[in-house]
Chains A and B, each alone.
Chain A
């Protein structure tokens, strides 16, 4: 029972949660198939609206239908990666755990909080339908665009995908820190920011918007960095005159802020607790 933290330990924990995910999925064949079908249908139906519009009108916002399809594939891949790596037990939607007083369970484990958060959300099997749809759309759109990119382009794609995923998770943790102070009021803040604002907005070619609306969407509420901005760069049409590494710099800044805010919130939580006397304390 040593205290050493190593990559082996991290991969050991990831393997543990992967096995638990597979056990859960294989427990019931009907449930597994329904779960996979549900993931596929939900993903395709959420993307089809924008694609059909682009197809009908021969493109939207200066992007051709195939370019729109690439962008939709990118956003689905980002959502899929989030689901695979941070999907389980409200790891991405951490405000739910904080708001429900469930962070105490994590404090009882002899592991650093960050390691628990990295490992616990790993759903490589039940979380992958959206990822597969996203990757499929990206490959299909590349055929339609008649592109045959080199290794550097694929590396850039991986980098932009990683930045978008980390941007989404960083945004969740930044907002979720509010739940340390006002647990009931902000219990659902993460799902509001991620699922109801940034997620849906990331499916649109934002170049249709005037600059006054566009700039906030690549800074204050960075839905534009989740698919539109990186897709434009990867398709050779860098928007807004920003550098190609802007998503990386933004994500690093966002994470620095999120870590600072989350740590402050955690210290508040441990110092004051979230008890029945607190205005907006735990709902239980």
Chain B
């Protein structure tokens, strides 16, 4: 297993706490006999397996892992949609299942693959709906409405029907609506899924500003490591339902032992990639080369390092 770094957060300022949480699902196995067909066997799938971690208030946590690692299950546990099989989940000091209603007033949840906007109504109508259903005070609504319209550039399509929006516009509107009650904690499940570069930039910049300005606690899942690194300071990696790494991005880079390489371009336009650990040995090798036009030094990206790592975990996809 991978290196695990324990992050200690002060109790008083804890936004999320998972204590020895496991969540198991059951998968029916194909029948191999009449007895199996009559009484099917089920295999236990540990979506989360004895997971413990906490997130301090004001923290921006990247929650990553390969497909099937348990990321979405965690978000569902945190928002009271599922109960853990064992263990305890506390969010903003409340139990998500037993105190769902007061918790939902303080938390914002966004699933990248789901819609909360009313398809046959303009975005503005969905915003008004949110205000009424959440009982958002007018002053808070007005402030948050102008903030999200401005920073997420929603104004140009504020009166457009939600079903007529592009994916990027829809995600910005979904994010804006989610924030209207000024949540203390935001849970985002793949908010940049399928977005183009511009829409991603807008959402990332906005989330960073929100975290820095209001100290809003944010937990975000994504498969895009560059996005996560740009947004979050801390990353928690899941593998097969277990915490495989918990620390900051520089520690992750160190732990992954990302290789360095020299890219050599020759005068005849051919290219050669030379991996190295020791710069002295590399220089010696380079000095022996002839016809060198250009040398570029690079480090393997986090994405490449994690791809190798996920592949070594052989996680279910």
Q: Which residues on A are within 8 Å of B, measured CB to CB?
A: 1-3, 9, 12-13, 16, 20, 23-24, 104-105, 107-112, 270-273, 275, 277-279
Do A1 and B100 touch across chains, with their CB atoms under 8 A apart? Answer: no
Instruction: Determine the chain A residues whose CB is within 8 A of the CB of B121 once the complex forms.
Output: 20, 23-24
Do B83 and A108 touch across chains, with their CB atoms under 8 A apart? Answer: no
A-facing mask of B53-90, CB < 8 A → 1, else 0?
00000000000000000000100100111110000000
Please count how many residues in chain B sit with their CB below 8 Å of the partner chain's CB atoms: 35
The 9 listed contacts between A and B (C-beta, < 8 Å) are A2-B135, A13-B132, A16-B133, A24-B121, A105-B114, A107-B79, A110-B135, A111-B101, A270-B97
Residue from A3, A112, A277 in contact with B25 in the complex, judged by beta carbons closer than 8 Å = A277
Instruction: Determine the chain A residues whose CB is within 8 A of the CB of B276 once the complex forms.
Output: none
Kindly identify, within residues 97 to 146 of chain B, every residue whose CB is under 8 Å from any CB belonging to chain A: 97, 100-102, 104-105, 109, 114, 116, 118, 120-121, 125, 128-129, 132-137
B27 located at the interface, meaning its Cβ lies under 8 Å from any Cβ of chain A in the complex: yes
B2 located at the interface, meaning its Cβ lies under 8 Å from any Cβ of chain A in the complex: no
Do B100 and A12 touch across chains, with their CB atoms under 8 A apart? Answer: no
B28 located at the interface, meaning its Cβ lies under 8 Å from any Cβ of chain A in the complex: yes
Contacts A20-B121, A279-B28 known; 5 new A-B pairs at CB < 8 A: A1-B135, A16-B132, A110-B105, A270-B83, A273-B82
Do B101 and A16 touch across chains, with their CB atoms under 8 A apart? Answer: no
Instruction: Determine the chain A residues whose CB is within 8 A of the CB of B73 once the complex forms.
Output: 273
Do B101 and A270 touch across chains, with their CB atoms under 8 A apart? Answer: no
Q: Which residues on B are within 8 Å of A, measured CB to CB?
A: 25-28, 45, 47, 73, 76, 79-83, 97, 100-102, 104-105, 109, 114, 116, 118, 120-121, 125, 128-129, 132-137, 181
Do A20 and B129 touch across chains, with their CB atoms under 8 A apart? Answer: yes
A20 and B125 alpha carbons, distance in the complex (Å): 8
Do A273 and B135 touch across chains, with their CB atoms under 8 A apart? Answer: no
A105 and B101 alpha carbons, distance in the complex (Å): 13
Q: How far is the CB of B138 from chain A (nearest CB, A)?
A: 12
- Contacts A1-B181, A23-B121, A108-B104; A270 near B82 (Cβ below 8 A): yes
Instruction: Determine the chain A residues whose CB is within 8 A of the CB of B116 once the complex forms.
Output: 105, 108
Do A273 and B76 touch across chains, with their CB atoms under 8 A apart? Answer: yes
Instruction: Determine the chain A residues whose CB is within 8 A of the CB of B109 once the complex forms.
Output: 108
Do B133 and A109 touch across chains, with their CB atoms under 8 A apart? Answer: yes
Do A110 and B104 touch across chains, with their CB atoms under 8 A apart? Answer: yes
Closest 5 CB pairs of A and B: A110-B104, A277-B27, A110-B105, A16-B132, A277-B25
Q: How far is the CB of A184 from chain B (nearest CB, A)?
A: 14
Do B83 and A277 touch across chains, with their CB atoms under 8 A apart? Answer: no
- Contacts A20-B125, A24-B121; A104 near B81 (Cβ below 8 A): yes
Do B28 and A107 touch across chains, with their CB atoms under 8 A apart? Answer: no
Q: How far is the CB of A230 from chain B (nearest CB, A)?
A: 36
Instruction: Determine the chain B residues whose CB is within 8 A of the CB of A105 once the complex forms.
Output: 114, 116
Instruction: Determine the chain B residues whose CB is within 8 A of the CB of A110 once the complex forms.
Output: 100-102, 104-105, 133-135
Instruction: Determine the chain B residues whose CB is within 8 A of the CB of A108 once the complex forms.
Output: 79, 104, 109, 116
Instruction: Determine the chain B residues whose CB is within 8 A of the CB of A107 once the complex forms.
Output: 79-81, 100
Q: How far is the CB of B186 from chain A (nearest CB, A)?
A: 13
A160 and B45 alpha carbons, distance in the complex (Å): 51
A2 (CB) vs chain B CBs: closest residue? B135
Residue from B79, B83, B132 in contact with A12 in the complex, judged by beta carbons closer than 8 Å = B132
A280 (CB) vs chain B CBs: closest residue? B28
Instruction: Determine the chain A residues whose CB is within 8 A of the CB of B102 once the complex forms.
Output: 3, 110
Instruction: Determine the chain B residues whose CB is within 8 A of the CB of A2 once the complex forms.
Output: 135
Q: How far is the CB of A148 from chain B (nearest CB, A)?
A: 44
A112 and B101 alpha carbons, distance in the complex (Å): 7
A275 and B102 alpha carbons, distance in the complex (Å): 26
Q: How far is the CB of A102 from chain B (nearest CB, A)?
A: 9
